[in-house]
Amino acid sequence: MDERRVMNGTWGQLWLDGELVTECYGCQAKVTANKETVAMCGNIWTGSKVKSVSGTGSVRLRKVSSRMGKLVADAMREGRDPHFTIISKLDDPDAFGAERVALKSVSFDDLTLADWEADTLGNVECPFTFRGFEYLDMVVDGDA
């Protein structure tokens, strides 16, 4: 492995419904297999069966505006659940290419109204669930 090919998060970008979110400094999205244990006669090991999948994640933002409040506050007050599309891009110039993933039907779990402390830069974490994803670009090892 060539260590220069390890992707550096500094080159990450995030779009929320087509708008670049320049205050984003981190993003994580995972798909989890929801399994049920399956006991099998004649075998001491238990197996498992995937019954469904779920998507969860989090966007980490520098506190520079009320962006999230503008997007979800009214809907939350009215009992509505707005859904969004997030596109995550990681494009390190030393890597074998860029990776872009679209997260579909994103629903934010909460809205941070206040979270600050003296002598501390403001950051906000925005957890979410999503229902679907698509790789728009994938990184392929140059040796493959």
**pLDDT tens digits, 90-129:** 999 888 989 999 999 999 999 999 999 999 999 999 999 9
Task: Read off the pLDDT of residues 73-86 as tens digits, 9 standing for 90 and up.
Answer: 999 999 999 999 99
Q: How confident is the model at residue 142 (pLDDT cuts 50, 70, 90)?
A: low
Model's pTM, two decimal places?
A: 0.90
What six digits make up the tokens of 136?
A: 């728009």
Q: What is the pLDDT of residue 140?
A: 85
Rounded CA-CA distance 107/90 in Å is 22
Task: Read off the pLDDT of residues 35-68 as tens digits, 9 standing for 90 and up.
Answer: 999 999 999 999 999 999 999 999 999 999 999 9
